[in-house]
Amino acid sequence: MLEMEINDKILEDKMINHVYKLFGDFCRQYYEPSEYEHCKRVKNIVKQSKMYKEADKIDKVYIKCIALGHDIIEDGCVDETNLFIFIKELFSISKNFLDPELYKQFWDEGRRIFESIIILTRNNEIDQTYKEYINEIAQFKKDHGKNLPGGGYNTPDLAHLIKVADILDHLLNFNSLKPSLKKRYFSGLETLLQDEVIGYREESDKEKYADLTNEEYSDLVHERRMGHIMSGVNQLLGIDDEDDER
């Protein structure tokens, strides 16, 4: 009996790793090289998060696949139908090898990968603005995000985390960003992390700094705003601010 359990465990691990490898190959095939590298960096940022570290093995595969595939529809690499067909076929491979209950759990993760990528895809068909898109992700998490029993996380939580990591990678790796894009990305982070960044306006109350010029006061507000945003990023990723400074 113990030997059968061990063999089932080995088989499960092999299937999980196989799914991740094939999904990674799929993304590499359709992305432009620079975009694929961006998505890998997003995956690596997400892997630093407390949410990822506390996830079980299947959830970790799910999280990594979403991070790798988060731009694959929006960038025009594949459409929704082809992505769904690929994911369904990918997870169907395991049907003949896993017991029915585990396969059901496995395919549930496959559906969640697809659903999360859809959430992370900006709707260009209706000319959705970037602000509307970010607000939609933030509101979806606020309305439906909830840590699940046993340490798991649901689709809104993970889509939100991956979007924060996506914006963070843009800010950290593209020094040639136009000021307008930097402003847009910081505003996006502020919206996504609204629960974490409240307070910088109160700390920068104009009446407390009456001796500053308008330009000096504007710089103060900007500095504190950026500090709160990055503190919010660290909080979401589970990074201690003091440890991050060392």
What is the reported pTM?
Answer: 0.78
Q: Which one-letter amino acid corresponds to residue 137?
A: I
- Give the span between the Cα atoms of 198 and 2, in whole angstroms: 53
User: How many angstroms separate the Cα of 160 from the Cα of each of 21, 129, 222, 244?
Assistant: 24, 18, 24, 22
Digit-coded pLDDT (tens) for 37-78: 999 999 999 998 888 888 888 788 889 999 999 999 999 899
Q: What torsion, rounded to 10 degrees, do the Cα atoms 38, 41, 46, 48 define?
A: -170
Spell out the residues 6+ positions from residue 180 whose beta carbon is closer than 8 angstroms to its own.
none
Tokens linked to 161: 């985390």
* DSSP state for residue 14 in the 8-state scheme: H
Per-residue pLDDT band at 174 (split at 50, 70, 90): low
Domain boundaries, the chain: 2-178, 193-246
Closest CA to 197 of 228, 233, 230, 222: 228
Digit-coded pLDDT (tens) for 125-171: 788 899 999 999 998 888 876 654 444 457 888 888 999 999 989 88
Contact 15, 94 (CB under 8 A): yes
Give the pLDDT confidence score for residue 226 in this predicted structure.
66
Digit-coded pLDDT (tens) for 69-91: 999 999 989 999 999 999 988 88
Give the pLDDT confidence score for residue 191 in this predicted structure.
87
Q: What are the phi and psi torsion angles at 32 (to 5°)?
A: -65, 150
